[in-house]
Amino acid sequence: MLTLIELVGIFFFAVSGSLMAARRGFDMLGSEFLGGVTGLGGGVVRDLILNQSPATFAHPVYFLPPVLAALCVYAFTPAVQKLHRLVQIFDAAGLGLFCMTGTMKALENDVNPVTAVLLGVITGVGGGMLRDVISNVTPDLFNPRDVYALPAILGATATAFVWHFDVLNIAVGTGIAGLTFVLRLASIRFGWSVPLAAGHWHRQPNIPNHGDGPRRNF
């Protein structure tokens, strides 16, 4: 079941990567690559931290979702101006699933709850950050006008909490992933943000988006 959830999460993240590739004018190979990096990057980093061989390279089935994602984007891509909204929606769906599965996999390897939450967040945000860096846009993780990691932290913490009390099942896991998804989209819709590192007295810089347009347009 965990593998199935991971495959679904990889697909959602890979779709967001392929949509970004389409928006940036990449070719099909670029779409495959960016979708693969987005879908698999966070899990690979997590497994390396856990001192494990990444499951991606041990089981070729993990490469299937990025291929399907690139084909779906190629076949069903809407108007270019709508792509950023779709990137955000699919990214939020992948975030909700991966912060949960990353935390679960860490806990299965007898990692303490705090570290498990951290690895869950890394699993959730890692692929999206790599996607944005490769695409030469400001990663949502570092955008002061956006909330990206906070929903993942809440979702990973909730997963560790219910795991500790042995009440984690399909229904509870779906609820946690859904709540993370909703919080992420709500943060985009209502423009939620966290305080700046420099404090309230510091003038907020005019941070460019490197030609990627407004970050909140959901």
**pLDDT, averaged in runs of 10, over the chain (218 residues):** 86 93 92 95 93 86 94 78 79 93 93 95 94 90 85 96 92 94 92 77 54 47
Longest distance between any two alpha carbons in the chain, whole Å: 52
Report the domain count for the chain: 1
Q: How far apart are CA 72 and CA 215, in angstroms?
A: 24
How many degrees, rounded to 5, is the angle at CA 157 between CA 160 and CA 34?
100
Query: What single-letter amino acid sits at 29?
Result: L
Give the structural domain span for 21. 1-190
DSSP reduced 3-state for 63: helix
* Alpha helix ranges (H) inside the chain: 2-23, 28-49, 55-58, 64-76, 83-108, 113-134, 149-164, 170-190
Is residue 196 domain-resident? no
Is residue 114 domain-resident? yes
Is residue 213 domain-resident? no
With beta carbons less than 8 A apart as the criterion, state whether 156 and 95 touch.
no
Determine the pLDDT at residue 215: 46
CA dihedral over 164, 169, 175, 179, signed as positive or negative? positive
pTM of the model: 0.83
Nearest C-alpha neighbor of 184 from the set 95, 85, 84, 118: 95
Is residue 93 domain-resident? yes
Is residue 113 domain-resident? yes
Determine the pLDDT at residue 209: 52
CA dihedral over 158, 154, 38, 58, signed as positive or negative? negative
Is residue 13 domain-resident? yes
Is residue 27 domain-resident? yes
Determine the pLDDT at residue 58: 82
Is residue 207 domain-resident? no
